[in-house]
């Protein structure tokens, strides 16, 4: 099958287009014929080697973290899917590989595709949808009447998280450029801060939750936005001791993660806040709940551009540019 492959880690190194064998199908997996795959910033970071400590992929490997397609075969232990089912998924870590014509995914990480959207739209959802769900629903337990600050509202995670927070009944603030203000307002943002003109830390006060996706400086400024008892959840780091424990990291790696997050954890405790790092996990059951929201019209996919499969490297470069509004998708079939 045709695929886009990381032969060696390297900053900005293009993926190699080549032929690889179809993936082996384990007993608890489904083989999906890939129709579309989304591109995420994590794809570039994995390619660059930034996650080698926590995701030790052995080269060569196929990249890609989001998929929508059709089940062509199921493992002997799979009961919930059959050949012909239209599905979407975020494959588990260390079993990625959606920049290919076929991918094997654990059945528990797969859900039926929302019926009212295209394959390209469905492929745009899993990673960002699960990230927002696990941050706002699982970790923050965001509810009606609360206030949440979602950074970078016009990005992939932001466009989904704003809609989810609005559905949960929260007041939503976000940052974006003036040119994207209408987009984020249409998704449900109540307060929009133009990051090119205003400092969000001067505009926002007494928030219950901050979803941080930016750099360390932004992370520290976000502490001042929260009220006592508030939650600062970061998807861009630094990793904390709980995350190290969750992934069963070796002792030296645990100490590195403890040290990296020591400053922000100490500052959060002093302000009576909680800090947590989120590295989302694959979940078919959560994707099923997300599909229900999409079919009900509560959330809509936001897709900026669709690239042909042959232009996978160009799609990654476009995501790295930071110009995308919503998600970037590759049409494989």
Per residue in 247-256, pLDDT (tens digit) is 888 899 899 9
Position 138 scores a pLDDT of 98
Give the DSSP letter of residue 315. H
Q: What is the pLDDT of residue 150?
A: 98
Q: Are 222 and 202 in contact (CB under 8 A)?
A: no
**pLDDT average, residue stretch 64-83:** 98
At 214, the pLDDT band (50, 70, 90 cuts) reads: very high
Which pLDDT score is estimated for 54? Answer: 86
Residue 61 pLDDT exceeds 90? yes
CATH of the domain spanning 127-277: 3.40.50.720
Is 90 exceeded by the pLDDT of residue 199?
yes
pLDDT tens-place string over residues 220-253: 999 999 999 999 999 999 999 999 999 888 899 8
Rounded to an integer, the average pLDDT of 111-131 is: 98
* CATH fold group of domain 2-124+301-331: Quinone Oxidoreductase; Chain A, domain 1 (3.90.180)
**Confidence at residue 32, expressed as pLDDT on a 0 to 100 scale:** 99
HSE of 53, CA atoms in CB hemisphere, 13 A:
13
Q: Which two tokens stand for residue 220?
A: 């520290």
Residue 96, pLDDT above cutoff 90: yes
Q: Which two tokens stand for residue 238?
A: 């630094």
Question: What's the pLDDT band for 266 if we cut at 50, 70, 90?
Answer: very high
Among residues 231, 303, 295, the alpha carbon closest in space to that of 264 is found at 231
Residue 278 has pLDDT above 90, yes or no: yes
Mean pLDDT calculated for residue range 128-134:
98
Alpha-carbon Rg of the chain, whole angstroms?
19
Mean pLDDT of 68-77: 98
Q: Is 52 exposed, middle or buried (0-12, 13-18, 19+ CB in 10 A)?
A: exposed
First and final CA of the chain: distance in angstroms? Answer: 12
Rounded-to-integer distance, Cα 188 and Cα 301, Å: 14
| pLDDT of 63 higher than 90 | yes
pLDDT at 53 (0 to 100): 84
Q: Where in the chain is the domain with CATH 3.40.50.720?
A: 127-277
Average pLDDT over the chain reads 97
CATH 3.90.180.10 in the chain, residue ranges: 2-124+301-331
Secondary structure (3-state) at 234: strand
Cβ neighbours around 110 below 10 Å, total? 28
Query: Residues of 248-269 as b/e, b for ≥16 C-beta within 10 angstroms?
Result: ebeeeebebbeebbeebbebbe
Confidence (pTM): 0.97
Rounded-to-integer distance, Cα 79 and Cα 215, Å: 43
In sequence order, the 6+-apart residues with CB closer than 8 A to the CB of 186 are none
Mean pLDDT of the 28-49 span? 98
Mean pLDDT score, 89-94 = 97
**pLDDT for the residue numbered 143:** 97
């Amino acid at each position: 099958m045709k695929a886009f492959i990381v032969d060696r880690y390297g900053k900005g190194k293009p993926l190699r287009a080549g032929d690889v064998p179809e993936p082996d199908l384990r007993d608890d997996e489904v083989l999906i014929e890939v129709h579309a795959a989304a591109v995420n910033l994590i794809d570039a970071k994995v390619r660059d080697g930034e996650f080698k400590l926590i995701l030790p992929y052995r080269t060569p490997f196929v990249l890609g973290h989001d998929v929508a397609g059709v089940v062509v075969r199921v493992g002997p232990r799979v009961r919930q899917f059959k050949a012909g089912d239209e599905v979407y998924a975020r494959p588990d870590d260390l079993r990625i590989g959606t920049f290919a014509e076929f991918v094997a995914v654990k059945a528990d990480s797969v859900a039926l595709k929302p019926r009212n959207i295209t394959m390209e739209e469905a492929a745009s959802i899993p990673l960002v949808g699960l990230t927002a769900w696990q941050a706002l629903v699982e970790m923050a337990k965001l509810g009606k009447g609360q206030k949440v600050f979602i950074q970078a509202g016009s990005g992939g995670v932001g466009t989904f998280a704003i809609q989810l927070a609005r559905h949960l009944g929260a007041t939503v603030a976000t940052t974006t450029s003036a040119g994207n203000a209408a987009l984020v307002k249409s998704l449900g943002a109540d307060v929009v801060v133009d990051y090119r003109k205003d400092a969000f830390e001067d505009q926002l006060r007494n928030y219950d939750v901050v979803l941080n996706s930016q750099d360390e400086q932004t992370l520290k400024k976000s502490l001042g936005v929260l009220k006592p008892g508030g939650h600062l959840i970061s998807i861009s780091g630094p990793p904390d001791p709980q995350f190290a424990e969750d992934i069963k990291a070796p002792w030296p790696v645990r100490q590195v993660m403890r040290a990296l997050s020591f400053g922000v954890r100490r500052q959060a405790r002093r302000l009576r806040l909680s800090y947590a790092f989120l590295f989302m996990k694959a979940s078919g059951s959560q994707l099923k709940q997300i599909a229900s929201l999409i079919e009900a019209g509560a959330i809509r996919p936001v897709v900026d551009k669709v690239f042909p499969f042959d232009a996978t490297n160009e799609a990654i470069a476009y995501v790295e540019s930071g110009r995308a509004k919503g998600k970037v998708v590759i049409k494989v079939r």
